[in-house]
Homo-oligomer: A and B are copies of this chain.
């Protein structure tokens, strides 16, 4: 590495990342699936598919469907449960030698607390990412992530228990993302991830039924990027926590949109399906941008929007 090589490292919630590029939860399996296609040890961090206390089967198929510049998914929370995750999925993940962030989900606050207890102490888990875009069975299925009070209670309970940094992943399906961010910050979140998928639906008009077996699903991909960038921008103005921006990032240019409006790191999701090596291409592209613009450290670009 020459003296002019830009420094891509960033710090986030106490973690030192070699670069700001992570996989987005649910789009990179447990790391090993993509190992034949790229050098996973180059990632800033790997974020896993959601882990729940017990094994979950997921939603009825069809589960994915392409939409204009995006896709809908209704995977549901299919996963082998936390114990199987620790026993089977975590050891190979550790081999990559990069920070592992475990995305967790549950139906009651207690579920999350038990997950945090168990996972935050597990060997090789660098941080937890709390998926709050899920219904709370104790509150008539109200989504945790659409109510600031529920979010605050959930995050406070996890933050109290977790030995690892707590990243709260926000849902975009809200009137005021800033309100949710402030609630998470006050409750003790160490960082925020945004955004999760937008709730969407598409119809097979010949068969007159929804394409997805589960009727509705989560919209991801380039189509949602303008919404995601706007939300990161809004939150960055009002909240002091480091942000992980995601939503439709395909290239370094896209990642830079998020970084310039205030994201310290970025997640690459749907793009992995299109191009398995998307993450490393984004990393290389960020370095190239820094070189071209004479930016010594990518961290200098965080929030470096001009004239707004």
- Chain A residues proximal to chain B, CB less than 8 Å: 67-70, 72, 146, 173-176, 198-203, 205, 207-210, 215-216, 219, 221-227, 229-230, 233, 248, 253, 256-257, 260-261, 289, 304-308
> Taking the full assembly, how many copies of this chain does it contain?
2
A200 contact from B176, B229, B306, Cβ within 8 A: B229
A229 contact from B146, B175, B201, Cβ within 8 A: B201
- What are 11 inter-chain pairs, A to B, with CB distance below 8 A? A67-B222, A68-B221, A69-B69, A201-B229, A201-B261, A202-B229, A203-B305, A205-B260, A215-B233, A215-B308, A219-B226
Whether B215 contacts A201 by the Cβ 8 Å rule is no
**Best-buried of A175, A229, A233 by chain B (most CB within 10 Å):** A175
Whether A203 contacts B222 by the Cβ 8 Å rule is no
Whether B209 contacts A72 by the Cβ 8 Å rule is no
Chain B neighbourhood of A229, CB < 8 A: 200-203
Chain B neighbourhood of A306, CB < 8 A: 207-209
A224 → chain B closest CB, angstroms: 7
Whether B175 contacts A223 by the Cβ 8 Å rule is no
A63 → chain B closest CB, angstroms: 15
Chain B neighbourhood of A308, CB < 8 A: 209-210, 215
Known: A219-B227, A223-B70, A224-B223. A175 touches B146 (CB 8 A): yes
**Best-buried of A176, A199, A203, A253 by chain B (most CB within 10 Å):** A203
A13 → chain B closest CB, angstroms: 24
Chain B neighbourhood of A305, CB < 8 A: 203, 208-210
Chain B neighbourhood of A205, CB < 8 A: 253, 256-257, 260, 289
Q: Bound state CA distance, A219 and B219, in angstroms? A: 15
Q: Bound state CA distance, A69 and B222, in angstroms? A: 8
A230 contact from B201, B208, B233, B253, Cβ within 8 A: B201
Chain B neighbourhood of A72, CB < 8 A: 226
Known: A201-B229, A203-B261, A208-B306. A69 touches B174 (CB 8 A): no
Chain B neighbourhood of A70, CB < 8 A: 68-69, 223, 226
Q: Bound state CA distance, A226 and B201, in angstroms? A: 5
Chain B neighbourhood of A202, CB < 8 A: 225-226, 229, 257
A260 contact from B203, B233, B256, Cβ within 8 A: B203
Besides A68-B225, A201-B230, A205-B256, 11 more A-B contacts (Cβ < 8 Å) are: A68-B70, A69-B69, A175-B175, A199-B230, A203-B305, A205-B257, A207-B306, A209-B306, A216-B230, A219-B227, A223-B223
Chain B neighbourhood of A225, CB < 8 A: 67-68, 202
A209 → chain B closest CB, angstroms: 5
Whether B67 contacts A203 by the Cβ 8 Å rule is no
A238 → chain B closest CB, angstroms: 15
A91 → chain B closest CB, angstroms: 38
